[in-house]
Amino acid sequence: MLKFLKNRKFWVLFTIFFFPLALYLFLITGTNNFAKLPVLTEKVADVTHFISDDGSDISLDGKISIVCFLGDDIDRSQTNALNLNQKIYKRFNEFNDFQFLVILPKGKEKEAKELKKKIAFATDMSRFRFLFGTPQEIKEFFESLKTNYSLDTKSYTKYAFIIDKNMHLRGRTNDEDTSNGLLYGYSAETVAPIHNKMVDDVKVLVAEYRMALKKNRNERKSWLKNEKE
């Protein structure tokens, strides 16, 4: 009886104290293995040649960019932007190096302005940009992503893309819903793929940069300390 009680006490203590500690150590040591979003395409083309809705110069370099292509039928595709705004932009736009880019054919400036008004309600639009280019320019930029998707004749695709600060396309290499496991982009026509996959993947990328920033700060503090000594 006494032996049973001792064993029971051990397992209670293990559950309360040792198991959480072991789990924490596992997560810490495993961070480098799973806390990075895979690079699927290196160095996509930049968007500096596109004209932005406010006339400012826009680049992918040094930014976490969410990019979507709404095509020339914005009445049909505006739901994509609304879904992405609700689930992605509102959640991450306070991150300093974040930007949301909507690629449109030239001539759609008026429709873009109207869509922006719909989205702007109770939303800070300072990192939400519309970019305009010719169908050929849009096609060339899309092809630089090197995905297994296609752009239709109206310069539209239902997919939204995550591009990191080094202008690499990020996604998944072990997606359970694709035959080869590769997920280049996230369907924005419905909320589910954005909510179930894209939100988590953007979180991972943001956390990756925050960890890198923290590491750089710690290394700098260590260097300054050594210099003083």
What is the residue extent of each domain of the chain? Answer: 39-214
pLDDT digits (tens, 9 = 90+) for 65-112: 999 999 999 999 999 999 999 999 999 999 989 999 999 999 999 999
> Which of the residue ranges 55-64, 121-130, 138-147, 220-229 would you say has the lowest mean pLDDT?
220-229
CATH fold of 39-214 reads Glutaredoxin (3.40.30)
Residues 130, 104: contact at Cβ < 8 Å? yes
pTM of model > 0.75: yes
Is a pLDDT exceeding 80 seen at residue 20? Answer: no
Is a pLDDT exceeding 60 seen at residue 222? Answer: no
CB neighbour list of residue 177: distance below 8 Å, 6 or more residues apart: 183
> Which of the residue ranges 44-53, 118-127, 197-206, 211-220 would you say has the lowest mean pLDDT?
211-220
Copy the structure tokens of residue 225.
């300390």
d(CA 40, CA 70): 22
